[in-house]
Chains A and B, each alone.
Chain A
Amino acid sequence: MINQFGNWIRESQIWGSIFRHGVPRDRRTRAMAILSNVFLHLHPVAVRKSGIRLSFTWCMGGITFFLFLVEIVTGVLLMFYYRPTVEYAYFDIQGLRAHVTLGLLRELHRWGAHAMVIAIWLHMLRVFLTGSYKPPREFNWSVGVILLVLTLLLSFTGYLLPWDQLAMWAITVGSNMARATPGAGSEGPLSAFIQIGGVPLVHAGDDARFGLLAGTFVGPNALLRFYVLHCVFIPCVVTVLLAIHFWRIRKDGGISGPL
């Protein structure tokens, strides 16, 4: 009965139009399953047997990507409940706790973000210790380092959004660093020399920290700026770089192994 129903579905025109191959049971259809699916075709058709051992890859790159997807899904849902203004931000988060059914969204988002930072470090550690950055994978390692930096920036910009004491002061500590940028921060080395006719060009009202916070302190402008960076700009850049990163793994010969 169930088998008959299954066959009826698989022989229908709709199923056939979506999946161009038969059930992946033999070599040909299994290869087709990978090749004809836009998501799965990020994989090669065949991989080195030793490469997919868990003790070799630790699965950390995959887990990082999985957590990125978790962050996107929970993040979009959180955006429904959250307004990035000083008046509402904190109370929206409080309301999320008190009123939203199955209110695990923020927990999933926050712990997922912490876990993603840890997983990406462990992924880098594995790639280093297996020498997988060596030719022909040099460029992909560099893309990976940029992704690491962007992951930290994603987490950093998200840190401010709950608008509680922890958030505000962690960002204050972090963004104070920008004030010391050589030549671009008002308290940075050599900035005092950048002046025209005795008028300093780099001061608290236009330096690197001002650019980051859109103000001289962590206020409403900084909240909006971090929100946009966190929800739109950095995720877009990460997505593009991820596509390059995955595509290059395939092009550079799949999971690494002895030459």
Chain B
Amino acid sequence: MDSILASSTSTLESVKHFINVACEPHWFMIISVAAFFIFLIGYRFWTKPAVAATIAALVTLFFLASCLDDNFNKIVTKADNVPIVIMMVSVAFLLWLAFRQAAINDERMEKGEPLLEAGADDKVLVWPDLVYSELIALVLCTALLIVWAIVLRAPLEQPANPNVAPNPAKAPWYFLGLQEMLVYFDPWLAGVVLPGLIVVGLIAIPYMDKNPRGNGYYTFKERKFAITSFLFGFIILWVVLIIFGTFLRGPNWNFFGPYEFWDHNRPAALLNTEFHDLFWVNLLGRPLPGHYLMRELPGIILLGGYFLLGPLIMKATVFRKLSRDIGFMRYSMLCVLMLFMLLMPIKMVLRWTLNLHYIVGITEWFLNV
């Protein structure tokens, strides 16, 4: 009996260990990106109610079972983390709802049948049809919010003390994706330029997307490029990073698996590979040039090539039709925004594989990429 118990405990421990490892930054991102594309490619299969319900049941089961683990339970049920669990559930559910309707619409369009949203002339009066649904929604939301407020007290920690910094010191949860980006980029990029570009890019979407189809109804087939790139930004680079930053980043912004104890004594990760070292010392076997501009020249050329040649190469290959359709200005804008967005996963991969610190590191000017 004891041996059975012992062996099942050790199996459980090895499962937990496996999941802890699978949540390490590179695995977590690789698995997320893979799941993202598998979902998009097979969206007609994954959104079938039976399939989606099975997945939802399995995830719920896994989540509830995980709550038996002390370390997992502690971080998930922290009052300020509850909204993030709610966000995960609602984003997943509504993505399913949207892609379910997209799958139905896409199939109907192939068969030449009318859309779910068809019937533009089929109008109803706002009073009572809309006003009453709004009233019901209002009452339901009020009730939910009051229940939430009764069940969960708003946290209040010790009085502010500028001399005692908590570890980890985390930004508000909705900015944790940006704080996670600080692992890979300097603050001027992760904290200022990238958020600025996110806002500019969002505003620019309707002016860059000249595809007239998919206006006012759910579809994926007619807008594959637009939906994939938007969702990659929203799901992978925003929501997934928030989840990662909230649940898997502990003291010293170190990675901790979901079942791991937050050990304050684990030292911060070391970074020591610079692109100029890789190029001059490792590749050419020469000492670093004295002047910093000369030293960083290979990195500057690499980045310049990325931003200047990238659009040209894509224009001649994958974006041939798109670049013709939307014109020079829109295409340039699209490329700048997309290349900045892709810089994030690229820098992540470089960090995991080469432990690369900076591609261009002009520390003299604080200009590090």
Q: A residues bordering B, Cβ < 8 Å?
A: 24, 27, 30-31, 33-34, 40, 43-52, 54-56, 58-59, 62-63, 66-67, 70, 86, 90, 93-94, 97, 104, 106-112, 114-115, 117-118, 121-122, 124-126, 128-135, 137-138, 141-142, 145-146, 148-149, 152, 155-156, 159, 162-170, 172-174, 176-182, 185, 187-193, 217-219, 256-259
Give which listed residue, B127, B138, B214, B218, contacts A33 with CB less than 8 A. B127
Q: Which residue of B lies closest to A55 (CB)?
A: B97
- Which stretch of B33-41, B169-177, B321-329, B337-345 is in the interface? B169-177
Q: In the complex the two chains form, is A187's CB within 8 Å of B87's CB?
A: no
**A-facing residues in B76-92 (Cβ within 8 Å):** 80, 83, 86-87, 90-91
Please, how many angstroms separate the alpha-carbon atoms of A217 and B214 in the complex?
49
What 16 additional pairs, Cβ within 8 angstroms, besides A107-B154, A173-B179? A34-B127, A48-B120, A55-B101, A70-B142, A118-B87, A131-B219, A134-B209, A173-B169, A176-B187, A181-B192, A182-B193, A185-B188, A188-B366, A193-B365, A257-B216, A258-B117
Please, how many angstroms separate the alpha-carbon atoms of A155 and B172 in the complex?
9
Q: In the complex the two chains form, is A108's CB within 8 Å of B94's CB?
A: no
Please, how many angstroms separate the alpha-carbon atoms of A111 and B147 in the complex?
11
The SS class assigned to the A binding surface is helix
Q: Whole-angstrom distance from the CB of B241 to the nearest CB of chain A?
A: 14
Question: Which chain B residues border A137 with CB–CB below 8 Å?
Answer: 206
Question: Which chain B residues border A169 with CB–CB below 8 Å?
Answer: 165-166, 169-170
Show 14 residue pairs from A and B whose CB-CB distance is below 8 angstroms, ordered by the A residue.
A40-B126, A46-B126, A48-B120, A58-B94, A59-B133, A66-B137, A107-B149, A134-B215, A164-B160, A168-B162, A179-B187, A180-B366, A189-B365, A191-B366
Give which listed residue, A107, A118, A181, A256, contacts B86 with CB less than 8 A. A118
- Indicate the member of A108, A142, A165 with the most B CB atoms within 10 Å: A165
Give which listed residue, B95, B102, B131, B162, contacts A40 with CB less than 8 A. B131
Question: Which chain A residues border B165 with CB–CB below 8 Å?
Answer: 169, 172
Please, how many angstroms separate the alpha-carbon atoms of A66 and B202 in the complex?
24
Q: In the complex the two chains form, is B150's CB within 8 Å of A173's CB?
A: no
Q: In the complex the two chains form, is A34's CB within 8 Å of B156's CB?
A: no
- Indicate the member of B90, B131, B178, B206 with the most A CB atoms within 10 Å: B206
Q: In the complex the two chains form, is B118's CB within 8 Å of A70's CB?
A: no
Question: Which chain A residues border B110 with CB–CB below 8 Å?
Answer: none
Please, how many angstroms separate the alpha-carbon atoms of A152 and B171 in the complex?
12
- Given A34-B126, A90-B159, A104-B149, do A132 and B174 touch, yes or no (CB 8 Å)? no
Q: B residues bordering A, Cβ < 8 Å?
A: 80, 83, 86-87, 90-91, 94-95, 97-98, 101-102, 115-120, 122-131, 133-134, 137-138, 141-142, 145-146, 148-150, 152-162, 164-166, 169-175, 178-179, 186-188, 190-193, 199, 202-203, 205-207, 209, 211-219, 223, 227, 230, 234, 365-368
Q: In the complex the two chains form, is A30's CB within 8 Å of B216's CB?
A: no
Question: Which chain B residues border A126 with CB–CB below 8 Å?
Answer: 94, 98
Please, how many angstroms separate the alpha-carbon atoms of A93 and B157 in the complex?
11
Q: In the complex the two chains form, is B170's CB within 8 Å of A170's CB?
A: yes
Q: Whole-angstrom distance from the CB of A102 to the nearest CB of chain B?
A: 10
The SS class assigned to the B binding surface is helix
Q: Which residue of A lies closest to B217 (CB)?
A: A258
Q: In the complex the two chains form, is B206's CB within 8 Å of A56's CB?
A: no
Q: In the complex the two chains form, is B127's CB within 8 Å of A24's CB?
A: yes
Please, how many angstroms separate the alpha-carbon atoms of A190 and B155 in the complex?
41
Q: In the complex the two chains form, is B367's CB within 8 Å of A138's CB?
A: no
Give which listed residue, B87, B133, B146, contacts A52 with CB less than 8 A. B133
Give which listed residue, A159, A162, A180, contacts B186 with CB less than 8 A. A180
Question: Which chain A residues border B230 with CB–CB below 8 Å?
Answer: 128
Question: Which chain B residues border A104 with CB–CB below 8 Å?
Answer: 146, 149-150
Q: Whole-angstrom distance from the CB of A217 to the nearest CB of chain B?
A: 6
Please, how many angstroms separate the alpha-carbon atoms of A256 and B118 in the complex?
11
Q: Which residue of A lies closest to B161 (CB)?
A: A165
Q: In the complex the two chains form, is A187's CB within 8 Å of B206's CB?
A: no
Q: In the complex the two chains form, is B164's CB within 8 Å of A111's CB?
A: no
Give which listed residue, A49, A155, A165, contacts B174 with CB less than 8 A. A155
Please, how many angstroms separate the alpha-carbon atoms of A258 and B87 in the complex?
29
- Given A126-B98, A130-B217, A168-B160, do A145 and B120 touch, yes or no (CB 8 Å)? no
Question: Which chain A residues border B193 with CB–CB below 8 Å?
Answer: 182
Q: In the complex the two chains form, is A192's CB within 8 Å of B146's CB?
A: no
Q: Which residue of A lies closest to B169 (CB)?
A: A169
Q: Which residue of A lies closest to B155 (CB)?
A: A166
